[in-house]
Amino acid sequence: MPTNFTVVPVEAQGGERDSAERDAWRQEEEEDNRDRGSGERGEQGGVRRSGDGISRESSPFINSAEMDRGNMYEGKNMALFEEEMDSNPMVSSLLNKLANYTNVTQGVVEHEADEDSKRKEVKVPRMGTFIGVYLPCLQNILGVILFLRLTWIVGTAGVLESFIIVFMCCACTMLTAISMSAIATNGVVPAGGSYYMISRSLGPEFGGAVGLCFYLGTTFAGAMYILGTIEILLTYISPSAAIFKAEEVGEETEAMLNNMRVYGTCIIILMAIVVFVGVKYVNKLALVFLACVILSIIAIYAGVIKTAIDPPDFPICLLGNRTLSKRSFDVCAKFTERNNETKTTNLWLLFCNSSLPTAMCDDYFSLNNVTEIQGIPGILSGVLIDNLWSTYSEKGSIVEKKNQPSVSGSEDIKIAGRPYVFTDIMTYFTVLVGIYFPSVTGIMAGSNRSGDLKDAQKSIPTGTILAISTTSFIYLSCIVLFGACIEGVVLRDKFGEAVNGNLVVGTLAWPSPWVIVIGSFFSTCGAGLQSLTGAPRLLQAIARDGIVPFIQVFGHGKANGEPTWALLLTAAICEIGILIASLDSVAPILSMFFLMCYMFVNLACAVQTLLRTPNWRPRFKYYHWTLSFLGMSLCLALMFICSWYYALIAMLIAGCIYKYIEYRGAEKEWGDGIRGLSLNAARYALLRVEDGPPHTKNWRPQLLVLLNLDCEQLVKHPRLLSFTSQLKAGKGLTIVGSVLQGTYLDKCVETQKAEENVKALMAVEKTKGFCQIVVSPSFRDGISHLIQSAGLGGMKHNTVLMAWPQSWKQTENHFSWKNFVDTVRETTAAQQALLVAKNIDLFPTNQERFTEGNIDVWWIVHDGGMLMLLPFLLRQHKVWRKCKMRIFTVAQMDDNSIQMKKDLQMFLYHLRLNAEVEVVEMFENDISAFTYEKTLMMEQRSQMLKQMQLSKNEREREAQLIHDRNTASRSAPAVKASVAAAMPEKVQMTWTKEKFVAEKHKNKDTNVSGFKDIFNMKPNQSNVRRMHTAVKLNGVVLNKSQHAQLVLLNMPGPPKNRKGDENYMEFLEVLTEGLDRVLLVRGSGREVITIYS
């Protein structure tokens, strides 16, 4: 309300009245602005956080801290809503915020901008589908495997099986692209790629595990590209640059691996420096590298067309059916004619011990002829028929031509050192799948750039699917064309030894093999740089999300946001791949990580589709959960096809990361599908449980634990939760409840604080369950509400656990004996079991261990078997595991104690419980004077409390009467009449001094006579008998179980007559007197343990 008003006379003109109103509005608005300004200053200087203390994602929607509050109050026609505008912005402000919303990878600052500064102007994305998605995907998919290994795969697996391999892998990526398109078009996806999509769809645990696996895959991909670069350099461009050379026959492979390690380490250091110094140059060179790839592919197709007209001349030298390496000789013949003389060739010297025609030669060399065939016979030659079928071989076997005549020689002579073309690894179908799959990865390149696209929701599906379709056509067509144009022995010659050390696919290219060699060299260099650029940023995004604590150090970088530490880790992991030094060994490793990533993309789409969450509204409509499920199954199958042990290792790594994030508590709420899946599963399970009560075999205590809180909302008896965790061991339902007295509007803050304190204690005590705090005008009603309404559906509690009210004799105690007795009655009415822990503060903590002792069960009356079941459950926990179970039962005069013991032992045997059995005989005897006196003292105390309460009421009435008298003496007769008319039911009393003194003496005499009657009273016989039972039974229990670690005892029910409630508490106190730890048990009225299987 404004404090200053401007009064305008009624006679004033309309213009004066309007100006006065404007002044009043201005004053009121200035005051409101001052109030809001102070509130805004309180919010500045920190990150805006929600109630749970978790930083939320930056959002243009509700509660955005950057909202310009000055614009919210423009226009007084919105004054009706101004109190809500702190939390709910106006639509105009919301739309303005959405228009200026920029998509940056969450937790990552772009390297062009400083980390601590905000952008002053919004960068307008300008890339379309072709430049922004299609070409990057094309560049990432087409790469080193196409140039270095595809011809070898076709020659080894044959055209048909190669077609199957490529089709499976391309189908896998196409199905993944469909799922990815659905997720990417379901709202704004910042430039976090697959990690962002998986983590926001499947939760932080899956997101962190799969994100790190995708990071490892990208890092090893960089190692594979670098190894491919070195292979091209040392094998096809400059073989003389090798540092290590083979000194003996058979050491060529080891020398090559050492060269790869040395050169690879140098190149990775150089690339890391380039990425560290100028990442923008890497991005600018991307188009150059892409141009190299495209030109190389065009050269391949041009070469295929040329083979139909004029096949290139690449002769292959064969000895019998064995392929010879032309690195060691020049003429493919045994003899040559020179000046009409027959002379032996260099090839002769490789197989014979001298150059003389009569020299001793290799047996196979002597028996077979040397022939030359064309390595590239051309597309019209019909060689496709020969290359249809697979030719798998062992490691070190000779590459042989099918259907070529050959005479076998002596097997005693070693073939090592002969100029044959050997296979370097053992080949079979699954190995080729693992080596080939990296050539179809890279489909995430478009989604990684979603922040730079004009319309990401349109461009990502279109560009990605088109790129996969294009590359799939290229791969499938190349398989057929390679098989139709190139001789089989050349295809199986991995390093081109039979064609003078040329790149095999280069021999097919037009106009020159160097087009492919140079193009593939630069494309692999570029791909390696791209991997070293993208992987550190992915790791930085994961680190800054804060879901994996041990990698948070890698979220830091240079002042401009460059991920320096992440780059160092990436280079170190990449060096591991370099030290492996074999492209064929590294490829299956990264295949595992990429396949796992794609599998979870498909899983995310399938889960979201099946759950039908309201937020699942992708613009891309051509998806179905069956396609996602098929893609997920195909990814899983390919993982085990490639390498079952690599697949298990990758899953183990992902599983460890998942459990680590779950253990450390990923306090992120991203609205993920796994949470929705859990809710759906919980709903389904609850509906199933609702069908009927559980069978006796499935019965277990579902606890409602009633806690008592102090004035600071802290738990008074923490050991009650310790005992709960020992009894439950994480199984079944546990609801921890407490009651605050008052109204919810007044106690809202205290309720939140109490809930936080209880949950914190539950975490410390490892009590798995739910917390429920109830606010009620009376403590008694709150307990009743909890007993009636706690739980949901079939997941309701069947047992109430509470602590014995130690100070029940103090009437000021909130949890007085009346509340306790009423709770006992209500649990009985609700057919729920009741456990009352007496001396709860003496119960053990979860860290204590009893090395010896007994758990004694005093089975007085049958309660459904609760007394038998509870010790068994307790002994499952480490605290009570070494305690022995003893069962005592009481025999009366007419009982056969020997037979009772046998029957009880047989009963326990059928229950499969190990326990000592003892029958205690309690004979009837006269009631002792001690029992009589104790009963009398109990009743006298009860009567005295009633008298004290009565005298207290009389004193209050006396004070009220005096107050009424004084009030009446000051009031005027007219006021008296009006009050009497308004409240006719009120009794009007006239007091005189004599009446007041007489009434006072009357009350005093009544009190004195009441106190005299207390000392002359006789005890009730029913109470005497109950006290006799309590004293007698207590003596027997003390005699047998005084030193037991825990005593379980039947809890007698409260009297039907409510007038004896205070005596009931006294009976229970006498019954358990002298025992350290007692658990009073009252059954629910149903059987909870059975002898049947």
Q: pLDDT per residue over 985-999, tens digit each?
A: 444 444 455 555 555
Question: What is the band of 455 on the pLDDT scale with cuts at 50, 70, 90?
Answer: confident
Residues 754-760 have a mean pLDDT of: 93
C-alpha 102/C-alpha 453 separation (Å) is: 11
pLDDT at residue 104 greater than cutoff 60: no
C-alpha 575/C-alpha 269 separation (Å) is: 9
Residues 282-310 have a mean pLDDT of: 88
pLDDT at residue 1068 greater than cutoff 90: no
Q: pLDDT per residue over 842-889, tens digit each?
A: 999 988 999 889 999 988 887 777 888 889 889 889 999 999 999 998
Residues 435-445 have a mean pLDDT of: 89
C-alpha 296/C-alpha 310 separation (Å) is: 20
C-alpha 326/C-alpha 498 separation (Å) is: 6
3-state helix, strand and coil shares in percent for the chain, rounded to the nearest 5: 55, 10, 35
Q: Which two tokens stand for residue 617?
A: 């509204």
Dihedral sign for Cα atoms in the order 658, 659, 664, 665: positive
Question: What is the band of 782 on the pLDDT scale with cuts at 50, 70, 90?
Answer: very high
pLDDT at residue 755 greater than cutoff 80: yes
Please give the model's pTM, rounded to 2 decimal places: 0.68
Close Cβ partners of 328 (under 8 Å, ≥ 6 residues apart): 346, 350, 419
Residues 1020-1039 have a mean pLDDT of: 79
What are the residues facing 718 on neighbouring strands?
none
Q: pLDDT per residue over 891-911, tens digit each?
A: 877 778 888 888 888 888 888
Question: What is the band of 413 on the pLDDT scale with cuts at 50, 70, 90?
Answer: low
What are the residues facing 858 on neighbouring strands?
888, 1049
Question: What is the band of 556 on the pLDDT scale with cuts at 50, 70, 90?
Answer: confident
SS3 state at 316: strand
Q: pLDDT per residue over 645-702, tens digit each?
A: 999 998 998 888 888 888 776 566 666 666 767 777 777 777 777 666 677 766 778 8
Give the pLDDT of residue 102.
38
Q: What mean pLDDT, rounded, does the chain reach?
A: 78
How many C-beta atoms surround the C-beta of residue 998 within 10 A?
Answer: 11
Give the pLDDT of residue 229.
93
C-alpha 14/C-alpha 25 separation (Å) is: 16
Q: What kind and span of H or E run contains 762? A: helix 748-764
Give the pLDDT of residue 390.
92
